[in-house]
Homo-oligomer: A and B are copies of this chain.
Amino acid sequence: MANEEKTTGFRPLTPEPTLRRLPWYLAYVSLLRSRGVEFVSSTTISKEINVDSSQIAKDLSVLSIKGKTRIGYEVEALEMAIKDFLGFTSSHRAVMMGVGSLGMALIADRGLQRFGLDVVAGFDTDPSIIGLTIKGVPVFGISELKKRREAYNADIGILAVPVEQAQSAADLLVDAGVHALWNFTPFRISVKPGIVIENTSIYANLAVMYSRLSALDQGK
């Protein structure tokens, strides 16, 4: 459970599986904090979440805090350390491409802000949407993308356009200067090297769920 002192300010690249598990620990630790629990060990976390306790200890070793023998981690400090490490306490600015059903929902969802993402503006081609303000977030026409993105200094572009426009919208965002694309379409966009792409295809997960449900029905 010990954690090596970092001897340099340069943070090594964290393995992606660790980055995907840390939010699970964070969710559990937040629950414990809300219940007033003060300390937690990787063994306790392991019992709640289906992950091996040595794996948990290894994952938590990337953080700047240490657990204490027999007592474990201080819950509040651990929660804050994970949040910090994952970038959830920093403010990242993003522009939303496509303010249709999903884009509007994502702007309206205050959840993103709790995880450090500030959607500063939306962009759309639909004249009936341009000019609207959704929960304080203005919607502009696509022609204003480059100028507005620069003014807001937004690093992240969120893709919530129809699938047919995914690639062209991605190109516009990259051209406007974003360094990362959060792609909510199921389209596999391609961009020049050095641009980060994170795919979150909500609907693709449905196929896996349907298939398992249907296997369940067949098994009866």
Contact = CB atoms under 8 A, between A and B. Distances in A.
A179 to B, nearest CB: 6
Contacts of A106: 105
Contact of A101 (B22, B108, B166, B190): B108
Contact of A49 (B108, B111, B163, B188): B188
A204 interface: yes
Kindly name the residue among A13, A48, A111, A201 whose own CB sees the greatest number of chain B CB atoms within 10 A. A111
| Dominant secondary structure at the A interface | helix
A210 to B, nearest CB: 3
A163 B215 CA distance: 29
Nearest to A10: B218
A187 interface: yes
A88 B209 contact: no
Given A24-B186, A31-B187, A164-B31, A87 B202 contact: no
Given A13-B211, A23-B201, A116-B210, 6 more contacts: A50-B190, A86-B210, A155-B213, A198-B206, A198-B208, A200-B202
21 contacts: A14-B211, A20-B204, A20-B208, A23-B204, A26-B186, A27-B186, A27-B188, A31-B163, A31-B164, A48-B188, A86-B206, A87-B207, A87-B211, A87-B214, A88-B207, A105-B109, A111-B202, A180-B209, A198-B206, A198-B208, A200-B205
